[in-house]
Structures are given as structure tokens and as C-alpha cells.
Amino acid sequence: MMRLDKMLSHCGYGSRKDVKEYIRKGQVLVNGEIIFDDDFKINEEFDEVIVFNENVTYHKNIYLMLNKPKGVVSATFDNKEKTVLDLIDEYKSYNIFPVGRLDIDTTGLLLLTNDGALSHNLLSPKHHVSKKYYVEFKGEFKESYYNLFLSGIILDDGYKTLPSEISIISTYEAFLTIYEGKFHQVKRMFKSLNMEVVNLKRISFGPLVLDNNLQEGKYRLLNENEVTMLKNNEI
Ligand code: URA
């Protein structure tokens, strides 16, 4: 059970103050009856709620795909920089957060959710969730590097990465799939081989693929199929 004003605010119908106003004005129906009491308790899973003639669907968990632009940090709060949450107009009341991080100058697929269990599973180092990146780099990619990516690359702190898969598109572009998420990992892998990453975009995260129709800075809800695929990825 949940307060009617809380449920409506959660569903993106405005602040608690806004929705109390709609309720008092008789614009909200529960199971066919106008409710004037904002304190009214509803069963958010089963009761039929209508606002402005619209059926309201309550989601306990929210899953968003964002095409992250450059210049924003993957955090919920930052003293200096704009965060990915500043790009999201709705769903703030759901307490969503980014699943993992992309650097401030990295673009592409970032999942945002309030599903802590799913996030934990996807980020767990035990689960080796794949992350595919489009990489633009400076420097020479030597034939011998293919095997190094496959067997693991020693980073500046001595850590040897897990096997990764590289496919070279041109003299300055590649796709790279890694199965872990160390700090600045892709940039450091290239740096270890005397190359410099100049542009980085994540195009998939586990079974989730960046929607080509999403411009940078835009987001959308995941569809049911995408949520199911992500959940099935949990081990
Ligand atoms: N690797 C990086 O170096 N940066 C990112 O943002 C993601 C992976």
C-alpha cells in the first residue's frame, strides 16, 4: 500500500505539492471513483489510477538507457561537473543511479536504474559482463598486438587484464570488447602498447546494445525484452 500522492509523484506527475493540487481539484480517479484525499492509500500494483484521463502504470523499478555525451560525469552528484542525472527530466523520484562509470570524455551506452540487485550483479567482477567499445586511437597498431589483447595486457600498475577481443576497422579505429571494468581500462590498455585513445564510445553492455536512434544526451526506458535479457545475464 502506498499514499496516492506519493505514487503519482513517483510516476512523474510532478512534485508532491503538484499532485496534491490535482487530487484536491478532483482530477484523480481510483478504481473509477474521484478521490479528493491525498492521504488516500492505494495498492500500487493492482488499483486502477487515472489522472487527466490517463491510465497510470506504477513501476517499482526503472531502467533507462542513456547515450552519454562528453562533459558529464557518471555520478548522482558532483560539486563541479554536470552529472548524467542532470540529463534526466523524469524518473528522478525513483532514486536512479548509473550502473558503473564512463569517463567524462567517453560517450555511449550507460544504464541507469534504481534496481540495486541488478546493478550489483552486472558490476560484480565474478560475472565478467562484456562491454564493447568503439575506439579511435593514435599510434601504430602492430600485427603482434592481436595476441596481446587476446592473452591479456599488462597495465601501468602491473595488473594483467583478462583476455579481450579486438577488431581493427581502419588505421585509427577499432572495436574492443572487455570483460571487466578497471579504472580507465581501455585507455590504459592502448597506452601500454604506445597508442593513445582519442575517442571512446561504449556500444554495448552485456546483452544491451546502444539504440542507434538515441542521440547523445538522450535516453529512453528499456523495453521488457531488454530488461529480461539483462536479468537473465545475472548468474
Ligand atoms: N575505459 C576507459 O578508459 N574509459 C571509459 O570510460 C570506459 C572504459
Residue 184 Cα to ligand 1 middle (Å): 4
Specify the 3-state DSSP secondary structure of 108: strand
- Total domains, the chain: 3
Phi and psi dihedrals of 55, rounded to 5? Answer: -75, 130
Q: What is the CATH number of the domain that holds 42?
A: 3.10.290.10
Query: Is residue 235 scored above 50 in pLDDT?
Result: no
Residues 97 and 146 in one domain: no
Question: In the prediction, which pLDDT does 44 show?
Answer: 80
pLDDT of 2: 87
Give the number of other Cβ atoms within 10 Å of residue 38's Cβ. Answer: 18
Range of the domain at 174: 130-205
Each residue's pLDDT tens digit, 29-60: 999 999 999 889 998 878 899 998 888 888 78
Average pLDDT over every residue of 148-155: 98
Contact 71/25 with Cβ under 8 angstroms?
A: no
103 is catalytic: yes
Q: Whose CA is nearest to atom 7 of ligand 1?
A: 102
Which pTM value belongs to this model? 0.83
Does residue 12 surpass a pLDDT of 90? Answer: no
Contact 202, 106 (CB under 8 A): yes
Q: How remote is the C-alpha of 90 from its chain's centroid? A: 14
Answer yes or no: do 178 and 198 share one domain: yes
Instruction: Tell me: pLDDT of 191 over 90.
Output: yes
Q: What is the mean pLDDT of the chain?
A: 93
Same domain, 120 and 70: yes
Same domain, 44 and 67: no
Q: How far is the CA of 183 from the centre of ligand 1 (A)?
A: 7
